[in-house]
């Protein structure tokens, strides 16, 4: 197995992967290679859009690539922050307008940081 270094076409993060893995990822995302964080974000957004029959992975990919282009200064931080927000939503953490977080079940916010 030959390892190749490849850049994410969304956030420009570099990962070392096998050629077979690279090909598999490209098959799933219209010939574009995405890092693990970006691919999960695109899958999540595509899953949210399943309610609309016209929303597809291509739409989620385009939206995510546009988001990443807006944050090119330090994409890893912004992608990680987006994933953190997604995980908080899934775990029941509500984020208030002022940016503070409060969890269901009465857990303290400090446990999240």
Q: Where are the domains of the chain?
A: 3-112
pLDDT score recorded for residue 113: 39
In this predicted structure, the answer to whether residue 78 has a pLDDT above a threshold of 60 is yes
Query: What integer pLDDT is reported at residue 20 of this predicted model?
Result: 94
Per-residue pLDDT reduced to its tens digit, 12-42: 888 999 999 999 999 999 899 999 889 998 9
pLDDT class of 53 with cuts at 50, 70, 90: low
How many Cα atoms sit within 13 Å of 110 on the Cβ side? 0
Per-residue pLDDT tens for 84-113? 888 888 777 555 544 554 444 444 444 443
- The pTM score is 0.58
The Cβ of residue 32 has, within 10 Å, a number of other Cβ atoms equal to: 16
């Amino acid at each position: 197995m030959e390892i190749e270094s490849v850049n994410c076409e969304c956030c420009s993060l570099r990962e070392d992967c096998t050629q077979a893995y690279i090909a598999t990822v490209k098959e799933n995302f219209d010939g574009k290679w995405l890092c693990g964080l970006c691919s999960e974000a695109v899958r999540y957004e595509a899953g949210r859009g399943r309610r609309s029959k016209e929303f597809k992975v291509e739409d989620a990919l385009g939206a995510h690539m546009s988001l990443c282009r807006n944050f090119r200064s330090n994409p890893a931080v912004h992608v990680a922050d987006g994933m953190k927000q997604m995980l908080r939503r899934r775990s029941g953490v509500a984020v208030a307008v002022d940016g503070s977080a409060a969890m269901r079940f009465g857990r303290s916010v400090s446990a999240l940081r």
